[in-house]
Structure 1
Amino acid sequence: MSIAVDNIHEQQQQLQMQQQHQQQQHQQQNCMLKEMVNDRWRIIERLGSGTFGDVYRAVDIKCETQSVAVKRETHSHGKERTLSREKGYLLKLRSVTGIPAVHFYTKLNTYTLLVMDLLGPDLEELKSYCGGRFCLRTACILGLQMIVRLRALHSQLCLHRDIKPDNFLMGVGKTSNTLYIIDFGLAITYRMPNGQHNPMLKERSLVGTPRYCSLNAHNKLSLSRRDDLISLAYILIYFIKGHLPWQGLKYKEMGLSLDEAVRQVKTDYTSGQKAAELRKDLCHQMVQFLDYTLNLRYMDEPDYGHLCRLLGDIMRTNQWSYDMTQLDWYNI
């Protein structure tokens, strides 16, 4: 009986601690509203949050029609600080089309702020807006821009390592037809100072997002250029079909973690008994796209031109134009 009472007290204490932590987070988020950043940008609203912290919209007090995004990362013991890494890669890639500009960065006692371009909706939002999938034409046009972005990143020795629809956003205003890539918190350089490719090592945990990451990531192996492209291939299938076979798994009923369950099903659908099912209803060029990325070796330099030609061939075969104003979300 005393053990049961002790357990109840322990659960109550844990619940109280969770509630206090949530209240502290809520207070921190609210106190950011109306705050000034660098005596120039006034924070207006919170846009969302991620593993790093929160994102806010702020306006330039010199020109209130100009908005920026403000990322806020709270410092906590034992937590890797990602905004410093992200700022470094954004500055390194600032000459690349489709990379948001950094306007300000500061590291304070309890948190770090990164002010950058405010962009439009991400591809996950747009896919939902379009009824849960994109037509093949829209998927190809987006895919071409995504390949170009990854080729530019890789040419600067940068691996993104978290390629997913949420990390590709359309621009606003004059850049509304430009696809941007964001969130470099997991990015690394894939060559050592001596110019040699990083060796393949074992990672401590999965890097990336289970739905889109490669089996190499599930197997805790070091990632390379091929893995960014494998994620892109999965995304294109996701756009066209509306879902991937390893979504919505009841992994707890399977007695597995989410990572383990997705790895198991993904293995079956990419190279196992159900490989043909994943490729079913895809045009042969899209199947070739997927198979090419899956067959790349760790240190291979991908043929980005080949991948562009595959998508371009789909466009030519169907006599589709590259007119960005005809993308799915413009026709709803």
Structure 2
Amino acid sequence: MLNSMLENRYKVLKLLHQGENNQIFKALDTSTSGKVALKIELSENHNLILHEIQVLTDLYDLIGFPRILSQGKHKGRYYIILNYLGKSLQNKFLSLNCKFTLSCVLRLAEEFFYRIESLHKAGYIHKDLRPENVATGYGLNWQSLFLVGFTYSNKYIENNNGRHVQCFITKTLSSNVNFSSVNVMNKINPSRRDDIESIIYILIYFYCGVLPWISNGKMTEVEIKKTKESIVLEPLCKNYPFEFISCLRYVRGLEYDQEPDYEMLRSCFKDMALKNKILRVYDWALSNEKMISRARLDRSKTPSCKKTTLRQMRRTLARESRKSLGKGSENKVMEFKAKEETYDGKFGDSKDSKDNEENKDMISRMDTVISDEYPEIKNRDQIIKLRNDFLQIWIKECILTSKRRS
């Protein structure tokens, strides 16, 4: 599959994830030179991709969900081309020593409940929420969360009458044992409340670094279910913040077809941040700011500095002369330096304005650096705008904090 070309446009570069039924590759859109994601089925007999295409088509206009760029068949297997996203929360979690700070978890909680509310309002439930199925944004969208992995998602509203589907016992077991709800483990068909319960398990997992049933890898499904049922009771709940357990108790008290109070859930974690005077930010915010500061900019539309340009030109000429002439050619290198001085004079005091313009254009073109590593960052204005947006948010949080103290 690697190095294959799809639709004479998308070149497959790297395997990113190997799932049970599909593979996800990093690919290059040769028409735009941008990165895209390719998701393709493992077998010709599967048609789960077709189901996911239907779900993502219905979610196309919503924030925080992948967008389909193209779809088709390759050697009998269905595939979809999606916009490129960042790392999953599981990868972020592992890279940060398997634990997020409380400020990060509270920020994630807010984003989680916004995303799941949008999904539920569109008439779908996810059914497979886990850290691997939540991705961060790519490039300048690094602050956004994206829900992915809609292979098992389905509608909870009947198309013919608009009513909620009836509760029934299913014969299939969930493959997501660690983060599935107690009702799902009891083989009750999932509804909106079960997505919320999975989110709370994920938040506890990120904050504590582990869940009781994950730390003991030898637990059976029956033992895991009993541990989940007792997590809201003493003495287990004393190890977790009260707000987590309070939300868990609320969700388990919902009826099968009852709509969760998303605003109440968000407010619970927001009040927790205010009470503890916590600024809700991601733990990986600093690393992304450093990435932006180190990014090489496309300066083709910005005025060039003459002194810097000449210095770069001298270094380039000297480097090229050493490569082409070899050792013992110092005299010829001096000739290059003499030519550079004549260029310097032309740029400074020459009366021939036409030569000046041609030389300046030449310097501007030589000074143009187009970044392949960070194609989202086009010029300095975007960096300044990003910095100003961050400062405005920080100032508002400081004002709110000072008002609370007074």
**Aligned residue runs from structure 1 range 75-114, under 5 A:** 75-77=43-45, 80-108=46-74, 110-114=76-80
Partner of 1:72: 40
Q: Which residue of 2 aligns with 1:300?
A: 258
Deviation at 1:283, TM superposition (A): 2.8
The 3-state SS of whatever aligns with 1:309 is: helix
Contact between 1:71 and 1:115, CA under 8 Å: does it hold in 2? yes
Q: CA deviation at 1:248?
A: 4.2
Maintained 8 Å contact 2:230/2:236: no
Residue 132 (str. 1) matches residue 98 (str. 2):
yes
- Equivalent residue number for residue 143 of structure 2: 177
Instruction: Name the SS for the 1:134 alignment partner.
Output: coil
Query: 2:190 is matched with which residue: 207, 223, 232?
Result: 223
**Partner residue of 1:198?**
165
- Could you tell me which amino acid in structure 1 is paired with residue 272 of structure 2? I
Computing the radius of gyration from Cα coordinates, the structure with the larger value is 2
Structure 1 residue runs of 5 or longer lacking an equivalent are 1-31
Q: Separation in 2 of the partners of 1:107 and 1:264? A: 44
Task: Describe how 1:306-325 pairs up with structure 2 within 5 A.
Answer: 306-322=264-280, 324=281
Residue of structure 2 aligned with 1:58, choices 14, 24, 27: 27
Using the alignment, how far apart are the partners of 1:320 and 1:265 within structure 2? 31
Relative to structure 2, which stretch is displaced further, 130-139 or 280-289?
280-289
Structure 1 residue 262 displacement after superposition: 2.0
Following TM superposition, by how much is the alpha carbon of 1:76 offset from its aligned partner in structure 2, in angstroms? Answer: 4.9
Q: Is residue 18 of structure 2 the alignment partner of residue 49 of structure 1?
A: yes
Match of 2:211 in 1: 244
* 1:148 partner letter: Y
Q: 1:46 to 1:108 in 2, by over 3 A?
A: closer
| AA partner of residue 202 (structure 1) | I
Equivalent residues, number: 286
Once residues 100 and 145 of structure 1 are traced to their aligned partners in structure 2, the CA distance between those partners, rounded to angstroms, is 15
Greater shift after overlay, 198-207 or 259-268?
A: 259-268
Q: Is the 8 A contact 2:41 2:77 kept in 1?
A: yes
Q: Which amino acid aligns with 1:74?
A: L
In the alignment, does 2:1 pair up with 1:35?
no
Q: Sort the Cα spacing of 1:148 and 1:199 in 2 relative to 1 into closer, same or farther, 3 A.
A: same
Superposed displacement of residue 281, structure 1: 3.4
Secondary structure of the equivalent of 1:247?
Answer: helix
Q: Does 1:263 align with 2:225?
A: yes
The answer to whether the 8 Å contact 1:73/1:113 transfers is yes
Of the three residues 285, 288, 300, the one matched with 2:246 is: 288
Counterparts of 2:268 and 2:152, CA distance in 1? 29
More helix by share: 2
Whichever residue aligns with residue 42 of structure 1, its letter is K
2:86 aligned with 1:120 = yes
Equivalent pairs: percent with the same residue? 27
RMSD across aligned positions (CA): 1.7
List runs of 5+ in structure 2 lacking aligned partners.
288-406
Report the CA distance between 1:330 and its aligned residue. 3.3
Look up the SS of the partner of 1:276 in the other structure: coil
Indicate which of 131, 156, 159 corresponds to 2:125: 159
Q: Does structure 2 retain, via aligned residues, the 8 Å contact 1:46–1:55?
A: yes
Q: What's the TM-score once normalised by structure 1's chain length?
A: 0.82
The equivalent position to 2:107 in structure 1, one of 131, 141, 150, is 141
Q: SS of the counterpart of 1:63?
A: coil
